[in-house]
Amino acid sequence: MSKNAKSSAKGQHTGNGHKVNGSSDVTAHLTAPIPITDTDSPEHANGNGHSNGNGHVKTIRPVKARVSNGRLLLESHVGNGNGAANGSRDTAPNSVLDAPVVKARVSSHDTQTIDTAGSTTSRLRDSDLAELRLRLKAEEWPLASSGGRRKAHRRELPYFMMRHRSMRATSRVGHTRQRMAARKHGQSGPVAWIARLVIVMFIFSFLATAAGFGAGIGGAAYYVSKLPPVDPSHLAEAINTNGISSQTTKIYDRNGNLLYDFVDEATGRREELPLSKISPLVISATIAAEDANFYNNPGVDLFAILRAVRINLSGEGSSGASTITQQLARNIFMSREERQSTSPDRKIKEAVLAIQLTQNYSKDDIMSLYLNQTFYGHRAYGIAGAALTYFGKPADELTLPEAALLAGLPQAPTEYDPFVNRDAAIRRQAYVLDQMEKQGMITPEQTIAAKNETVAIRFTEYSVDLKAPHFVYYVKQYLEQKYGADVSEAGLKVYTTLDLDVQSAAEKVARDRIDQLKKEKATNAAIVIMKPHTGEILAMVGSVDYNNTAIDGQVNVAIAERQPGSSFKPITYATAFKKGWTPGTVVLDTLTGFSNPGQKDYVPKNYDGRDHGWVTVRESLGNSLNIPAVKALQFAGVQNTIDTAHDMGIKGLNRGTDWYGLSLTLGGGEVTLLDMTNAYSTFANGGVEVDASPIMKIEDAQNRTIYQLDSDPIGTQALDPRISYMITSILSDNKARSAAFGANNPLKLSFPAAAKTGTTDDNRDSWTMGYTPDLTVGVWVGNSNNDEMLKVTGAIGAAVIWNKMMETFYASPQFVELLRGPDGKTHKEFVQPDGLIKTWACSAKGDINDLFLKEAPPKGCTTYKDTNKQLHSAPSTKPDNQPRQKPTPMPGIVFPTPIP
């Protein structure tokens, strides 16, 4: 048979009418003629070939490639002269045996096999086709004379510089190379490639502006050579050097008495656990909270970095981008100073070390190191210590809500401390649970159940010599917000404003009164004592017993939001005074309906259930009447009153006017005792607001002073001094409150003082706030779990503590010495500022004599005429001969008149 005959068969086809069920064969075009041995035995194939007329095919250029049993068979096809197969399935064995044989990979999970007339055809994926072409090219067959193509460029280039798939396939990189590497080396193949790419990117960006390209190569090698080794032999040394041996911070009172020493942080609860001893819920929660792509990334998350850069540059907020591996690298291989740095050099070093950690350790090893090295707060290093400290159980017994709570702590252990800020801890726990659900780790039903489950936190920290614990942890949180989360390891000496003797006296006064009120189901109390002029916190009692879990003693009620009751009224009246009211303004106190769009009228009632007719503001505020206070808020405006509260130092009340409504003046908004004490200090300070401060001085590890409290700070003028004095005049007027409290009441001291009580519905909160020109004391009594007390009003509960604390303080020359101002004097008397006059004015109540602004003396009647719906006429709905309700006798004090 002649070998010069040629076939022009090129197209894909099926012969003899056989249908291939929608699949198509893969045609591999060889680049050189393939000799076929002559034979008289015809091959019968798919009938797509054109013969030379005698049924014999000498040479075939393009052929159909089929994959059968993992081998590529290059078959020749013989037609019958007219392109139609003759139906016979005989083949010439030597035709097949003489053809080149090339191995080809067929994906086991994406291969469709079709049986067509006794032959087997497999459909290949794009990736398999790429590898097939790669193998064929590797045989180095010459180019076809008629192809006119250039030889493929075989020089290997970096993957990211190759534009076309063909270039990548030719150079054995890209998807095909990744598959080959994965089969040979496991998942470390692509990780190593990405790691090298990231290192190159970081090094080039860091060195580009410092030197030319040639110098940059040498500089990169030098930079990498400076990094600490990450092999196992150096890991333990790095942990001991940078992990837990940092200098620790000490907290003192104002006189140098040690309150808390963080030096034992390094010897806190630590136990190295393998992952098998840690609940899988903890691992899942940690990944969800810190690094969702932990098991897939090479130690850094490029997408997270780009997202963080975009957010930070856009001004929309801030976002971190550190993976779990980066955090581990930072904590182990960097000193405290390096960890606090935000320089690009530190970021690059962290990223490179994280990549090297990934190359030297498995993901499980890294996770184990992270969980055993991380600080969870309260001297708990590692998940084992955290589980014991917060829940008193081993780490492998943690439940889903417990695991989510602990996983949320490392980002800010003090901010999310459940003993100090339980609400923040629960919000963080909810975020972690939501992330776990989003990533498919738990079901929506499990998320809801975990959020609804009350987590029983048991504080089981080992015994330490800790004084003023609530104040100490408040200071620590304050420092972390100011200097960063590593402040406890910064070697600082922090001299606080607290006086340990005043603190001890306040703790005793609170405990004594709560002991007397146990039968009335009052279990807890909190006290804040401040200097108005400087904002110094002299004492902070967060509970009567820090270690008593039965009363939630670890919760610092001094910084927890509670409803203040009527103690908020002075802020309302101060706002009304800004708009023209005075202590002499007369208001009608009668049952009144206030419109409430979409709801029933709001109808407040006085504590004693009576109407009192026309009353002055002095009488209304002094006797804590509710109806006039609501009218005052309506006149002043809810938003204006909230603005005044913010100006005076209250940081809450941010839910909007619709949330609070007119009940705001009766204590319908939550505030903290610390903020309320700050606000009352503004009254005491002549309307000047000075932020509360727990710190007097801070020294660094080298004994250099890095912070000093100004002894004569410049505050913010929140109120006109004359308006501030009007409020003070009312709150210090014992006669003005005698109708409700009696002449002999706990707000009356042996020296001038202004004070106001507050009681919430069902006697859940008892408040008293009061001050002199030099001292402000705020007191709360109640139950941390918000249980009701038995008729423990502000006057019966908190006022007795306030009275005792004030008298105790001023009876001590040592304590009074603390109140000396920059002029070296103390001040017990309130001084009326210029611009006020006391004069007579007419009103619906008759002639009155009270304070007015000098530039706005009374002109005509001072009666406030409101347009509210009066439900009945004044003065009272009760018969005049009905006896007045007597107060419930309470231990320690007896009052002759009803107590609001």
Query: How many whole angstroms separate alpha carbon 48 and alpha carbon 9?
Result: 6
Note the residue count of the chain. 900
Hunting for tokens 């780009």 — which residue is that?
Answer: 306
Of the CA atoms within 13 Å of residue 514, those in its CB half-sphere come to 22
- Which tokens is 619 given? 């009488």
Tokens of 870: 């009066």
How far apart are the C-alpha atoms of 871 and 407, rounded to whole Å? 57
> What integer pLDDT is reported at residue 329 of this predicted model?
83
Strand 493-496 relative to strand 250-252, pairing: parallel
Q: Which of 683, 655, 649 is nearest to 669 (CA)?
A: 655
* CB neighbours of residue 457 within 10 Å: 20
Among candidates 22, 21, 74, 2, which has minimal Cα distance to 45?
A: 74
Helix (H) / strand (E) element for 480: namely: helix 469-483
What was the pLDDT predicted at 894?
36
Amino acid at 247: Q
Question: Using CA atoms, how far apart are residues 156 and 608, in angstroms rounded to an integer?
Answer: 92
Can you give the pLDDT at residue 266?
Answer: 47
Q: How far apart are CA 601 and CA 592, in angstroms?
A: 9
What are the backbone angles phi and psi of residue 668, rounded to the nearest 5°?
A: -80, 0
Taking residue 649's Cβ as centre, other Cβ atoms within 10 Å add up to 23
Answer yes or no: are the C-beta atoms of 5 and 56 closer than 8 Å: yes
Q: How large is the greatest C-alpha to C-alpha distance in the chain, in angstroms? A: 138
Radius of gyration of the chain (CA): 41
Q: Which residues contact 702 (CB under 8 A, 6 or more apart)?
A: none
User: Running DSSP on this structure, what letter comes out for residue 368?
Assistant: H
CA atoms lying within 13 Å on the CB side of residue 114: 16
What pLDDT, on a 0 to 100 scale, did the predictor assign at position 232?
A: 65
Compute mean pLDDT per 10 residues along the chain, 900 residues long, and list them. Answer: 36 35 35 36 38 37 40 39 36 38 38 35 44 46 42 44 47 45 45 58 53 45 63 63 58 93 57 86 93 88 67 51 84 74 76 85 89 84 86 91 93 87 91 94 94 75 72 92 79 93 97 93 96 96 93 93 96 97 96 88 91 95 96 96 97 91 94 97 96 94 87 92 97 94 93 95 92 97 91 88 96 94 83 95 93 92 89 55 41 38
Computed from CA positions of residues 604, 610, 613, 619, in that sequence, does the dihedral angle turn out positive or negative?
Answer: negative
DSSP code at position 43: -
d(CA 57, CA 121): 23
b/e code 205-229 from CB counts within 10 Å (16+ = b): ebbeeeeeeeebeeebeebeeeebe
Angstrom CA distances, 683 to 497, 633, 835, stand at 21, 19, 17
Alpha helices (H) along 227-323: 232-238, 280-290, 302-314
Question: For residue 5, what pLDDT is reported?
Answer: 35
Query: CB-hemisphere CA count at 13 Å for 859?
Result: 6
Which residues, 6+ apart, have CB-to-CB distance to 39 below 8 Å? 1, 92, 94, 95
Whether the model clears a pTM of 0.85, i.e. scores above it, the answer is no
Concatenated DSSP letters of 655-722: S-HHHHGGGGGGT-S-EEHHHHHHHHHHHHTTTEE---B-EEEEE-TTS-EEEE--SS---EE-S-HH
**In a 3-state reduction of DSSP, which class is residue 26?**
strand
CB neighbours (10 Å) of residue 596?
A: 12
Closest to 467 (Cα-Cα) out of 507, 494, 523: 507
Q: Which of 153, 158, 152, 103 is nearest to 128 (CA)?
A: 103
The pLDDT, as a whole number, for residue 662 is 94
pLDDT of 331 reads 79
